[in-house]
Amino acid sequence: MVLTAAFQSALVVGLAATLTTATVIAAEPPAERYITVASTTSTENSGLFGHILPLFEERTGIKVRVVALGTGQALDVGRRGDADVVFVHDRAAEERFVAEGHGVDRRDVMYNDFVLVGPRLDPAGVAGMSDITAALRAIRDASAPFVSRGDRSGTHAAELRLWQEAGVDIGTVEGSWYRQTGAGMGASLNTAAAMDAYLLSDRGTWIAFRNRDDLAILVEGDDRLFNQYGVMMVNPERHPQVKRADAQAFMDWLVSPEGQAAIAAYRIDGDQLFFPDATT
């Protein structure tokens, strides 16, 4: 009796383990219809996708799997053919991506802006400035701690462009005030909050960010802080596995009146995070 029970339990455990493995390893790939989108941490962390994707899925039955990375990394994923669509925010890099034949059919989708965030105490005295380059120079002059993404993201690219326009050769900066985290927007915000540092953030992530501590927006509104998001398909000529029709449907929906309205409707505490600006 005892032995039978023991055998039975051993059998059950063994069976359960085998089944688990079988379902994970040998399972049929899920039959659901989906596309993979390589996008940025700002669109995912801000909650935008959580708001608009269910609407798209309901309309078309196509699931969207989002892999959220920095813009540079997201473009790499597209370049390797590991996504169907790339949805990022670094126009120069996107145009290069298309020119090199990695992507096709790039379109503007929406914009928001970057903001200079820093400690309320504001050791560099930049609060309220309307010229972002003057603010950056003031931070440099004060050697006030500045956190840079340092990860080839769209925000990092924008930051480097602004330093250049400010006439600061950030590559040769000496001293410890300029600190690269090599991490995503949220992780860098956590770092800046912990060390009372300045940093450039996209407004969407900032609005959705919960651990602000003593940080606040100090400079905003300069035209050079404009932040354009674009979408493009990974070149199906080069990567035949790209789900052309479904990818096209997603891109068409994003720039359609319905998609654009969905983007505009996403708010946190009444603040609109992204402003649709598709031209079609």
Partner 1 sequence: MGDFAAASRAAVELLASGDPKLLEIVALSLQVSLSAALIASVIGLPLGAALAVSRFPGRRTLVVVTNALMGLPPVVVGLVVYLLLSRAGPLGELGLLFTPQAMVIAQSILVLPIVVALTRQAAEDAWAEYRDLLHSLGAAPLRSAVTLLWDIRHSLLTTVLAGFGRAAAEVGAVMIVGGNIDGVTRVMTTAIALETSKGDLPLALGLGTVLISVVVAVNAVAYLLREAAMRRYG
Residue count, binding to partner 1 (CB under 8 A)? 43
Which of 8, 15, 61, 65 touches partner 1 (CB under 8 A)?
A: 65
153-192 mask for partner 1 (x: CB under 8 A)?
Answer: ------------------------------xxxxx-xx--
Burial class (CB in 10 A: 0-12, 13-18, 19+), 103: buried
Angle, CA 193 vertex, CA 191 and CA 194 arms, to 5°:
65
Alpha-carbon distances of 19 from 8, 9, 13, 24, 29, rounded to whole Å: 16, 15, 10, 8, 16
Instruction: Determine contact, residues 234/242, Cβ cutoff 8 Å.
Output: yes
d(CA 66, CA 86): 10
The amino acid that residue 150 corresponds to is: G
Instruction: Determine contact, residues 104/242, Cβ cutoff 8 Å.
Output: no
In terms of DSSP H, where are the helices of the chain?
2-21, 41-45, 48-60, 71-79, 91-99, 132-142, 154-165, 185-195, 203-208, 244-255, 257-265
Can residue 82 be called a binding residue for partner 1 (CB under 8 A)?
A: yes
Work out whether strand 226-234 and strand 85-88 pair parallel, antiparallel, or are unpaired.
Answer: antiparallel
d(CA 139, CA 158): 17
- Structure token digits, residue 6: 């023991």
**Which span (65-73, 94-102, 148-156, 249-257) binds partner 1, by CB under 8 A?**
65-73
Can residue 241 be called a binding residue for partner 1 (CB under 8 A)?
A: yes
Minimum CB separation from partner 1 for residue 107, in Å? 24
* C-beta closer to partner 1: residue 70 or 276: 70
Which of 8, 11, 15, 20 touches partner 1 (CB under 8 A)?
A: 20
Can residue 130 be called a binding residue for partner 1 (CB under 8 A)?
A: no
Can residue 45 be called a binding residue for partner 1 (CB under 8 A)?
A: yes
Which of 62, 66, 251, 278 touches partner 1 (CB under 8 A)?
A: 66
Which of 72, 81, 123, 125 touches partner 1 (CB under 8 A)?
A: 81
Minimum CB separation from partner 1 for residue 211, in Å? 3
Can residue 120 be called a binding residue for partner 1 (CB under 8 A)?
A: no
Can residue 15 be called a binding residue for partner 1 (CB under 8 A)?
A: no
Q: Which residues of this protein are in contact with partner 1, per CB under 8 A?
A: 2-3, 5-6, 9-10, 13, 17, 20-21, 23-25, 27, 29, 36, 41, 45, 49-50, 65-68, 79-82, 183-187, 189-190, 193, 208-212, 239, 241
